[in-house]
Chain A
């Protein structure tokens, strides 16, 4: 994982559920590029076409609530999104995103606006908005989630470690 992530912000509100991220009717596939074409389709038509690689989703509270479908973070990842920021996550989605190796962090996203240039600095644990001179602190991930993310996701983590390691 890069220690500095740069991208444009795509903003979303509170309670964005996994049905909104990827509708159930598209979930029956192992073709992840096909999933990505429909990401956020029901609430932001045309979203997949607007994304540039490395763009960042900035959402409100309870992002990813609803279903356990991992197709949701998979669709976000394969659409080219480089990181997710949210005020809070629904528990299952948060784990799924990290397990997919998507940098997903907690911070106060209230001041981030659509199209803002964002710089997520993992060394300093902050999000910078260089165009507006703002700096937002990130809430640190739990050590186990950070370890999984550093390996690029749970599959790589378990291939390396064989099991879960909590003590560091």
Chain B
């Protein structure tokens, strides 16, 4: 019997052969905290009475969830994080640098075959680079800061194979929403996803990150992909950790297998207030929208802004709808400026926000009003998620969000993408 990628990567970090179901203590290659989860982790760490974290070079702190700070309380939490980073020698990305997951990948802080933890549930994003990466809480993080290790149960693996080419107008986001709608919000609970197949191989790294990012929305611990020439090309330019790629054996013992024909999936929309309430866009076309949001760790990268600009360039958004655009990093913002995309979006009526995560979890900026509907490229649409429990959130691709902003109602993006 062969092994899954999850079993192999964990084995390499436990220094013995382990299998799904085993309880193990694993070495951690990278530990990330941010301004929502970091202060509690630091407070817990300080209770151990140890002066130094196990290895400051394997940690990173990002200020992104409420940036630039909206009030003195959050400013003081930011100051606490800056002071801890400085006294410990931990690299810190300050307000305005970008969203934690985008920065970890962009800066080359993880490499294939690695094991990374973050005090944020969307840490599974790095699975797109063949990293066994998952979210943990702040106290678990304090234990990592103390020992460099974490106990875990080795997950079983659900193999998800995407076949065929995505039709025009369908984005990586649509495939992942479809999968989550199909298996449900706990459909992969305690499992790792192996996201594979020709559709994934054809995708850019950015599209792959969109898939892995949402693995947690069906309860998965990780959203792993095989490393290939695209992964290595990305890493080569950055000079990060040495890649040790590992992948599923053909005869691995998979907990379950799912096959999805990508060529048959039209643009999808997730309806309020649950991510797994997914329908084709045509079922909700015409629903009035008051705000569209393009950004987040799921879908704010250069390619996402490009397709939004393709829909919006030379047009003007509806007078009844606001459009917020938030690039997930300074690098993405700079590149989008250089390409002229930002100008096209702003001329179409978009409001540009500083790189960060604030609007998505309702911690800063872009809070909808009572009874308002938002269409967003984010990963969650729970009631109250964007800061108002009397608002509704729909989730969709950047193309669908851009088209919906144009019309002020949920709109099939395909009519604006035909050349």
Contact = CB atoms under 8 A, between A and B. Distances in A.
Interface string A37-63: 000011100000000000000000110
A163 B149 contact: yes
Given A91-B221, A142-B23, A96 B48 contact: no
Contacts of B65: 28
Interface stretch (B33-41, B205-213, B250-258, B326-334): B33-41
Given A23-B389, A30-B40, A62-B219, A70 B189 contact: no
Contact of A30 (B43, B47, B363, B387): B43
B73 A20 contact: no
B73 A28 contact: yes
Interface in B1-50: 23-25, 35-37, 39-40, 43-44, 47-49
A109 interface: no
A74 B37 CA distance: 12
Given A23-B389, A154-B142, A69 B189 contact: no
A166 B135 contact: no
Interface string B112-139: 0000001111010000000000011111
A159 B146 CA distance: 10
A67 interface: yes
Contacts of B274: 15
> Which of B24, B37, B387 is most buried by chain A, counting CB atoms within 10 A of its CB?
B37
A99 B189 contact: no
Contact of A71 (B40, B153, B383): B40
A166 B37 contact: no
A142 B153 contact: yes
B255 to A, nearest CB: 15
B385 A24 contact: yes
Contact of A19 (B25, B43, B221, B380): B380
21 contacts: A15-B274, A19-B361, A20-B382, A23-B362, A27-B361, A28-B363, A62-B186, A67-B121, A71-B36, A73-B137, A90-B186, A90-B219, A91-B189, A95-B136, A100-B139, A142-B23, A154-B139, A154-B142, A155-B47, A155-B48, A166-B23
B25 A166 contact: yes
A16 to B, nearest CB: 10
> Which of A61, A66, A100, A159 is most buried by chain B, counting CB atoms within 10 A of its CB?
A66
A105 B35 CA distance: 30
Contact of A68 (B121, B146, B153): B121
Nearest to B26: A164
A135 interface: no
Interface string B136-173: 11111011001101110100000000000000000000
A163 B147 contact: yes
B140 A154 contact: yes
B302 to A, nearest CB: 26
Contact of A92 (B23, B40, B73, B121): B121
A163 B120 CA distance: 23
B318 interface: no
B384 interface: yes
Nearest to B22: A166
A65 B219 contact: yes
B90 interface: no
A144 B119 contact: no
Given A90-B189, A164-B25, A19 B382 contact: yes
Interface residues of A, number: 45
B104 interface: no
A65 B47 contact: no
B110 interface: no
B120 A68 contact: yes
B139 A24 contact: no
B139 A96 contact: yes
A156 B254 CA distance: 37
Contacts of A67: 120-121, 361, 380
A28 B77 contact: yes
A164 B35 contact: no
Given A28-B363, A163-B149, A43 B383 contact: yes
Interface string A102-124: 00000000000000000000000
For the complex of A and B, 9 pairs with smallest distance between CB atoms: A24-B361, A96-B137, A70-B137, A99-B139, A42-B384, A62-B186, A68-B135, A42-B389, A19-B382
Contacts of A154: 44, 139-140, 142-143
Interface in A75-92: 88, 90-92
Contacts of B142: 154-155, 158
Given A68-B136, A99-B139, A154-B140, A62 B189 contact: yes
A7 interface: no
A28 B35 contact: yes
Nearest to A15: B185
B190 interface: yes
B375 interface: no
Given A28-B73, A69-B37, A155-B47, A20 B384 contact: yes
Contacts of B185: 15, 62, 65
